[in-house]
Amino acid sequence: MSYSEDTVDFLHQGDLIGMQNSLAKALKNDNSEMLADLAEYLQMMGFIDESQKIYDQIMSEDPETTDYLINLAEIAEDNGNLDEALNYLYQIPVNDENYIAALVKIADLYQFEGDFETAISKLEEARELSDSPLITFALAESYFEQGDYSAAITEYAKLSERKILHETKISIYQRIGDSYAQLGNFENAISFLEKSLEFDEKPETLYKIALLYGETHNETRAIANFKRLEKMDVEFLNYELAYAQTLEANQEFEAALEMAKKGMKKNPNAVPLLHFASKISFKLKDKAAAERYLMDALNLPELHDETVFLLANLYFNEEDFEAVINLEELLEDEHLLAKWLFAGAHKALENDSEAASLYEELIQTNLSENPEFLEDYIDFLKEIGQISKTEPIIEQYLELVPDDENMRNLLTDLKNNY
């Protein structure tokens, strides 16, 4: 038995001291082929320094060889030294048998750095030198990662689903489906994703198909795919909210609420589910439950200000304006719609000073482009007798809603009488 084999045995036994001692003997006694196999194995097992040491010795004994430069580049990459990795790879000449593999690795490194243009040029050069489908696949993946989905589809379409799935565990049909989805072509996306299920039935793919059917307003098929998903082992996949939203779109409110509750059993602190359950409870006229779900969400940090807004909106619709105002101090960041509700609550309670302060603040924000807000502000100014201040607000409103004759008549009256 060689010292290289002894080194592996010590590693399997967990005897790291024995491994190091045997490695030292291997470096002195074993031939380059044995050492190369050992270096590759140690690299695979995560013993990067030991692997580097072996490769350095091999290269010092045979500096002309290029057989291990890609391995050294991978080690440099693992250590975060991308420039060093590229330096190793660029040492491999064009006429070398390792040149194509080096081009693919160079492309991978440039892609990692976000330089897709260089990565793609290297892969195109590699494809000119080789008809390997894996190079075409790498090129398609680079286009996909870059977001050039049309180009990605063109390259993926040249490949065999079965062969690439066997080699890479990645479905070409799924990638094409994902690309079409990104391009907004949901019908083609569904078609290819459904094809991918014939070769590789993944719950994630079923989930995507269900979502896409929802996007095309085909709730019946979306629900059918969600039901199929339910029968699989998908504890890791938080699909319940999307399923519940599809049931809501299909006017199945009770079923939607039950699905939300199922999701909350899995994750009681899922704030989006609590928000959804509150909304559906309100639709089912269970206002106490709607409030309770939001109060539960209020104790959680996620989406805190959105929870404040939703609770304020609930109270506002119930005309409990005092309850709305009591939430004002809970707002942590800028939430314009929540502040608008607070302004409206102060307005309803005739807290004119507080309401005026909020309206004056909000008119300086994006709400100045919201016709409903402008109309509300105009109404408030009229209520407190500051009609002359409404003129510029009315003009803003009419820029957005030029066909509102009532507002145009009001502006005419203002100009004639004030």
Q: Report pLDDT for 286.
A: 97
What are the tens digits of pLDDT across the range 96-110?
999 999 999 999 999
Nearest to 297 by CA among 314, 320, 283, 318: 314
Domain of residue 372, residue span:
363-418
To the nearest 10 degrees (0 to 180), the angle between helices 133-146 and 161-168 is 80
| Rounded average pLDDT over 369-389 | 94
Residue 376 counted as domain residue? yes
Cα(206)–Cα(224) distance, rounded to whole angstroms?
10
What are the tens digits of pLDDT across the range 160-191?
999 999 999 999 999 999 999 999 999 999 99
Residue 391 counted as domain residue? yes
pLDDT, greater one: 65 or 353: 353
Residue 388 counted as domain residue? yes
Q: How many CB atoms lie within 10 A of CB 361?
A: 13
**Which of 64-73, 329-338, 369-378 shows the lowest per-residue confidence on average (mean pLDDT)?**
64-73
Q: Is the pLDDT of residue 245 over 80?
A: yes
Cα(71)–Cα(87) distance, rounded to whole angstroms?
12
Q: Could you give the number of structural domains in the chain? A: 1
DSSP 270: -
Question: Across all residues in the chain, what is the average pLDDT?
Answer: 94
Cα(246)–Cα(258) distance, rounded to whole angstroms?
13
Determine contact, residues 120/147, Cβ cutoff 8 Å. no
| Rounded average pLDDT over 209-216 | 97
Q: Is the pLDDT of residue 237 over 90?
A: no
Residue 41 counted as domain residue? no
**Which of 57-66, 325-334, 384-393 shows the lowest per-residue confidence on average (mean pLDDT)?**
57-66
Residue 119 counted as domain residue? no
Q: Is the pLDDT of residue 248 over 90?
A: yes
Structure tokens belonging to residue 212: 């896409």
| Rounded average pLDDT over 390-411 | 93
Cα(102)–Cα(39) distance, rounded to whole angstroms?
19
Q: Is the pLDDT of residue 120 over 90?
A: yes
Residue 390 counted as domain residue? yes
Q: Report pLDDT for 418.
A: 63
Residue 88 counted as domain residue? no
Q: Report pLDDT for 6.
A: 87
Determine contact, residues 181/208, Cβ cutoff 8 Å. yes
Backbone angles phi, psi at 9, to 5 degrees: -60, -45
Q: Which amino acid is at 128?
A: E
Determine contact, residues 352/368, Cβ cutoff 8 Å. no
Cα(231)–Cα(244) distance, rounded to whole angstroms?
16
Residue 106 counted as domain residue? no
Nearest to 236 by CA among 203, 269, 199: 203
| Rounded average pLDDT over 100-129 | 95
DSSP assignments along 47-108, one per residue: -HHHHHHHHHHHHHH-TT--TTHHHHHHHHHHTT-HHHHHHHHTTS-TTSTTHHHHHHHHHH
